[in-house]
Chain A
Amino acid sequence: EDQVTQSPEALRLQEGESSSLNCSYTVSGLRGLFWYRQDPGKGPEFLFTLYSAGEEKEKERLKATLTKKESFLHITAPKPEDSATYLCAVESGGSYIPTFGRGTSLIVHP
């Protein structure tokens, strides 16, 4: 069973159409939850770290939030250059290794 589940698998938006991506996790002893962006054929690029429920982080059009069971990546007024796969990862227990979800593929049409 996956520790990290991301939904939806794919999302198509029109430019300017705000939406949210979901990352739910089942681990106990969450140490940190991380969001990464991955462009086709490239390595993941770090976006945010969230450590505790209620925490929020923002960067340009992106805002990440965390509850005790899930995290949301809110995208406000997206642009075509926001098109990418967004990956969620968690660290928990005695491991300091981020475990990744399958990602949400976002396409923003002009």
Chain B
Amino acid sequence: EPEVTQTPSHQVTQMGQEVILRCVPISNHLYFYWYRQILGQKVEFLVSFYNNEISEKSEIFDDQFSVERPDGSNFTLKIRSTKLEDSAMYFCASSESGVSGELFFGEGSRLTVL
């Protein structure tokens, strides 16, 4: 069964360092998303991406965040200068249609900022 894969599964970084989280969406999906979940809190939307550009973003997705689809398979989230409050589980998701709400999520990348 096709799945969304994310790397790394866990990353520990120092405050102020740059982090890149990587995702391989399901191959025939056209819509890609990043969500995050701070421990014990709800799943929060960060950004959606379609046709090589951002389609929607939340207030959380400020100038320190960026997304990129560098090739035909990878989708990345970059955090330029990490803060303690960026510590969270980051989920990548993909969708075939972008209108049904049926998102396929990866298992997440846990980011710990010290």
Q: Which residues on A are within 8 Å of B, measured CB to CB?
A: 31-32, 34, 38, 41-46, 49, 87, 89, 91, 95-103
Contact B101 A98 (CB under 8 A): yes
Given contacts A49-B100, A95-B56, contact A44 B45 (CB under 8 A): no
Contact A99 B101 (CB under 8 A): no
Contact B42 A103 (CB under 8 A): yes
Query: Which residue on chain A has the smallest CB distance to residue B44?
Result: A100
Q: How far is the CB of A76 from chain B (nearest CB, A)?
A: 23
**Other-chain contact of A44, B48, B56, B91, B98 (Cβ < 8 Å):** B91
Given contacts A43-B91, A43-B93, contact A99 B104 (CB under 8 A): no
Whether a CB of chain A sits under 8 angstroms from the CB of B43 is: yes
Interface membership of chain B positions 2-17, coded 1 if the CB is closer than 8 angstroms to chain A and 0 otherwise: 0010000000000000
Query: Which residue on chain B has the smallest CB distance to residue A98?
Result: B101
A102 to B41, CA, bound (A): 7
User: Which residues of chain B come closer than 8 Å to A44, judged between CB atoms?
Assistant: 43, 91, 103, 105
